[in-house]
Structure 1
Amino acid sequence: MPELPDLEIFSRNLHRRLSGRQLKEITVRNSKKLNVPVTELKETLESQKLTSVSRTGKELYFGFENGAVLGLHLMLKGELHLFTDGDSRKHTIVELVFKDGTHFSLTDFQGMARATLNPEADHTPDALSEAINQEFFKRIFASRKATVKNVLLDQHIIRGIGNAYADEILWEAGISPFSAANKIPEAKLRDLAKAVRHVLENAVKQISKADPTIISGELRDFLRIHTTKKTHSPSGVPILIDKTGARKTYYTQEQEIFN
């Protein structure tokens, strides 16, 4: 599943490739999760110029000159495609055709990816916003007995952090993922806030360096803890794996537990 750093790079590359192009046609091939009638989507967006592509949380926002926004959420298995051959890709959710012949599509063989016209404003802070600091975590964690990893993954508390990067962030902060959020001392909350920004910003740099034009998929070779390719952390401590349902947590005994 693409996470915040992947989507940040996707948005930058799609903005560079598509902004300024005029939309000729939008086709919805799976409308189960569309929030408006297809006719309304077409009337709102067709013939409009695309002015921006940006990321917010785990969604991509396509902004048009009339002020309308098309939000795309890839969910677990969504993929993005740019092409000019005119043949639709398999399992297409939505396809945009621009007047210069460029095609862009969102596909998902599970059918879970969704398109939304003019998504409602979400005031939950993005993981890379300035609001994510020590005071934020102090306020948010104060009344929460849930494990710190579960809190980090809650998109209603902080947007954009997924499973892999939660493990990376907590390892860098030296906090066990099984710690109770309300038991973590203030000094560690400062470390956590720093780790959120450093891990995510570094991942953006690493992905951009490895594949400057990427618009789909995920790159994980640079991860230090959440990886099957390594058995020990950078400091030489064995990486442990705990499985809860379909989710795996990667951690080491270097991380302090607070309960």
Structure 2
Amino acid sequence: MPELPELVGLSQFLNAELAGSVLESVQITSFTALKTAAPSERELLGRVLKDVSRQGKFIDLRFGPSTTDDVGLHFIFHLAKAGWLRFSAGVVPAEQKRPAALKPGGYITARLGFDNARIDLTEAGTRKSMAIYLVREASEVPGIATLGPDPLAEDFTVEQLSEILSRKRAQIKGVLRDQRQIAGIGNAYSDEILHLARLSPFAPSNSLSEEQVQTLFDSIRSILQQAIAQASGKPASELKDAKRSSMRVHTRTGEACPVCGDTVHEVAFADRSLQYCPSCQTGGKLLADRRMSRLLK
């Protein structure tokens, strides 16, 4: 699933390529992906794309007013677990922009044809969970309205992180992944952050010392800033590979930890897995491979 760094890179890339472009065609092939009934897709046509931004794990394409409507519109999407974006630069042939070029139920969930480029929102697999919203204000999207603070915002402090962690007894990895608590961090970067902070993914969030909270705060900033630096300036087609190449423990099961040389281990769940280094994070103990795991005695 794309997370904060890739979505920063993606929004920057799209903004550089498309700001000022006119939307000539739009098709959303999945009824389940489109989460709003009004405004309609037709109301986007002919509008100028003002800018592209990111909020949490959402990408926001902000369009200006039309000739008949003096209010702008937002095309907002959440790529979910298996979604991505395919970008085609240059003048696209008209027959490749028309809605007839797509069929419902296919690999492409939505297509936006601009006067100088085309965007395809794609989703692999049979489990479709991409979400698209057409709204007049970004705050109308439920997931955006309930977002927690952005961890790279200037006003996000170690004191704020401490307050979030102390709200209840919960596994620290779950708190990092909860978009209502902290926006933008997902499964991959929570693994990387906890590895750098030398914390078990199952450590109770309200049990950390002041020093551990400070270390976690610094690790959040460091991991995300490094990943953003690696993603910035890259086209959409290269962002996934850039993410994979930067991982130290996530998806590295069976490989050597780059810090201590111990073997990276995995805990698998029904729909995801986490990776960690026993020597760096759990005092050498292995975590049981089940959802409600505790350290093995």
Shift, 1:256, TM fit = 5.4
Give the alignment of 1:63-142 within 5 angstroms.
Answer: 63-66=62-65, 67-83=72-88, 84-85=92-93, 86-87=95-96, 88=101, 90-100=106-116, 102-109=117-124, 110=126, 111-118=128-135, 119=138, 120=140, 121-122=144-145, 123-142=147-166
**Identity value in percent:** 29
CA contact (8 A) 1:14 1:215 kept: no
Structure with the greater alpha carbon radius of gyration: 2
What secondary structure is seen at the aligned counterpart in 1 of 2:281?
coil
Q: How far did 1:231 drift?
A: 2.2
1:209-224 correspondence to structure 2 within 5 Å: 212-215=234-237, 218-219=240-241, 220-224=244-248
In 1, Cα distance between equivalents of 2:177 and 2:187 = 7
CA deviation after TM superposition for structure 1 residue 43, in Å: 4.2
* Conserved? CA contact 1:70–1:117, under 8 Å: yes
Looking at structure 1, the residues matched to 173 and 156 of structure 2 have their Cα atoms a distance apart, in angstroms, of: 16
Match of 1:62 in 2: 61
**Is the 1:49–1:64 Cα contact (8 Å) retained in structure 2?**
yes
Residue 254 of structure 1: aligned partner: 280
The residue type paired with residue 239 of structure 1 is: V
How far residue 255 of structure 1 moved from its aligned partner, in angstroms, is 2.0
2:194 is aligned to 170
Preserved CA contact (<8 Å) 1:233 1:239: no
Range with greater deviation from structure 2 (137-146 or 124-133): 124-133
Q: Alignment partner for residue 223 of structure 2, among 179, 199, 205?
A: 199
Query: Is the Cα contact below 8 Å between 1:10 and 1:215 reproduced in 2?
Result: no
Q: Which moved more, 1:52-61 or 1:112-121?
A: 112-121
Query: Which stretch shows the higher mean deviation, 160-169 or 106-115?
Result: 106-115
- Cα deviation digits, residues 47-83 of structure 1 (max 9, x gap): 1100111111111100111332111111111121223
Match for 1:106: what amino acid?
L
Q: Normalising by structure 1, what TM-score?
A: 0.89
Match of 2:34 in 1: 34
Provide the C-alpha distance between the structure 1 equivalents of 2:45 and 2:172, rounded to a whole number of angstroms: 44
Gaps of 5+ in 1: none
TM-score (norm 2): 0.78
Tell me the residue number matched to 1:143: 167
Partner Cα separation in structure 1 for residue 6 and residue 210 of structure 2: 30
CA 132–237 in structure 1, closer or farther in 2 if over 3 Å, else same:
farther
Output the CA distance in 1 between the equivalents of 2:282 and 2:160.
21
Deviation string 1:105-129 (CA, Å, 9 cap, x unpaired) is 2122443212101242525212322
3-state DSSP class of the match of 1:16?
helix
Query: Does structure 2 retain, via aligned residues, the 8 Å contact 1:75–1:113?
Result: yes
What residue number does 2:24 align with? Answer: 24
CA distance in 1, matches of 2:221, 2:48: 34
Paired with 2:215 and 2:282, the residues of 1 have a C-alpha distance of 12
| Contact 1:2–1:217 (Cα < 8 Å) also in 2 | no
Work out whether residues 87 and 236 of structure 2, in 8 Å CA contact, stay in contact via their aligned partners in 1. no
Task: Specify whether residues 247 and 131 from structure 1 end up closer, same or farther in structure 2 by C-alpha distance, changes over 3 A only.
Answer: farther
1:15 aligns with 2:15: yes
Q: C-alpha root-mean-square deviation of aligned residues, in Å?
A: 2.4
Unaligned runs of 5+ in 2: 66-71, 284-294
Q: What is the rounded CA distance, in whole Å, between the counterparts of 2:160 and 2:6 in structure 1? A: 25
Q: Is the 2:26–2:42 contact (alpha carbons within 8 Å) kept by the matching residues of 1?
A: no
